[in-house]
Amino acid sequence: MNRRNFIQKTTLTLGAFTLLPNGLWAKSSTDSPYKIKEVRGGVNVFTEKGGTIAFLNTSKGMVVVDSQFPEQSQHLIDELKKNSSNPFKLLINTHHHGDHSSGNISFKGLVEHVVAHQNSLMNQKTVAEKQKTEEKQLYPDITFSETWKQKVGKENIKAHYFGAGHTNGDAIIHFENANVAHLGDLLFNRRYPFVDRSAGANVNNWIKVLDKTLNTFDNDTIFVFGHAFDPEKITGNKEDIKAFKDYLEKLLVFVDSEIKAGKSKEEVMKATSVPGVKEWQGDGIARSLQAAYEELSEAKK
């Protein structure tokens, strides 16, 4: 989209989205490159390109979780600034991948602090140095090892780290009063996941992380997912977590049986489905198969 068209679409306050008197966002029928929808308790989700963003606007400042890419994060910033004069208090990254953190740079000079798990910061720096994109980064200036918590306005925001999963730096961001938890890429809803072994991912431990998630949050928690096969299903409940856990468990069982049958990695990666799994879709199954094969093969050495 060129700048002229973008301005035409985003400067009409009653166009794409309207901030209602009670602070909620209402979407009109006007076409827009992005969507904003309230989840609960003032927590909203923003979707356009990349991992799902969550945000909260309070009288004491705005909190944003993940940032997609620079163009998309600028869309969000412009929309928020158009409807509110509150400062940007916190930007929190669920993990380091570019579709969740490369938009950080758009918040440079705007946000007070960027927060992430310590491994997420390390991974972000490693990738940026390798790709020679250090000047395009806004790194977290607050990191944590297990938990981190801060109150903004009336909302308590807590980050949890349960161990390696999708990467070795995935955090869950919980808006405690609203009881909305952003899982980032710890949950790919009905879509084959990316397992980033180069950043410490571990499928077996991912299952344990999901168990800890199920035990930590209650049945009323609404979860925000990093990605979904159906773009309208980026939020859900514990049943979605259980379904994804079942996928990962069946993935390991299947690949282990193939290894015991003497199959090579290349042969295993030709599989087009995992036995017993019916709901997961997309074109990325080979990524799961490869990661599981490598992980299981290393464990047998």
Segment 170-205, tens digit of pLDDT: 999 999 999 999 999 999 999 999 999 999 999 999
89 in a structural domain: yes
Residues 6+ apart with CB under 8 A from 262: none
pLDDT of residue 30: 54
Percentage of the chain beyond pLDDT 70 is: 90
Domain that holds residue 116: 3-239
Query: Is residue 190 within 8 Å of 227, Cβ to Cβ?
Result: no
Give the CATH number, domain containing residue 134.
Answer: 3.60.15.10
CA distance 52 to 133: 23
As given in the structure block, the two tokens for residue 215 are 């035990």
pLDDT of residue 20: 38
Q: Is 41 left (phi over 0), alpha (psi -120 to 50) or beta?
A: left
CA distance 175 to 55: 10
DSSP 21-38: TTS-EEE-SS--SSEEEE
Confidence band, pLDDT 50/70/90 cuts, at residue 283: confident
134 in a structural domain: yes
Give, in order, the Cα–Cα distances in Å from 63 to each of 43, 93, 160. Answer: 9, 11, 17
66 in a structural domain: yes
pLDDT of residue 23: 42
Residue 29 has pLDDT above 80, yes or no: no
pLDDT of residue 301: 76
Task: Report which secondary-structure segment, H or E, holds 215.
Answer: helix 203-216
99 in a structural domain: yes
Burial label for 59, CB within 10 Å (0-12, 13-18, 19+), is: exposed
Task: Kindly report, residue by residue over 37-89, the tens digit of the pLDDT.
Answer: 999 999 999 999 999 999 999 999 999 999 999 999 999 999 999 989 999 99
Query: Is residue 251 within 8 Å of 244, Cβ to Cβ?
Result: no
180 in a structural domain: yes
Percentage of the chain beyond pLDDT 90 is: 87
Residue 27 has pLDDT above 50, yes or no: no
Query: In a 3-state reduction of DSSP, which class is residue 128?
Result: helix
Alpha helices in the chain (DSSP H): 3-10, 70-83, 98-101, 118-131, 203-216, 238-260, 265-268, 285-300
288 in a structural domain: no
In the predicted model, what is the mean pLDDT of the chain? 91
Lowest-confidence pick of 13-17, 173-177, 189-193, 282-286: 13-17
CA distance 59 to 151: 12
Number of domains in the chain: 1
Look up the pTM and report it: 0.90
Confidence band, pLDDT 50/70/90 cuts, at residue 13: very low
Beta bridge partner(s), residue 43: 40, 56
150 in a structural domain: yes
pLDDT of residue 28: 38
* Residue 193 per-residue DSSP state: P
* Residue 222 per-residue DSSP state: E
Task: Kindly report, residue by residue over 212-229, the tens digit of the pLDDT.
Answer: 999 999 999 999 999 999
Residues 230-239, mean pLDDT to the nearest whole number:
96
- In single-letter form, the type of residue at position 189 comes to N
Q: Which residue has the higher pLDDT, 70 or 25?
A: 70
Give Cα 169 distance to the centre of its chain. Answer: 12
CA distance 86 to 239: 36
171 in a structural domain: yes
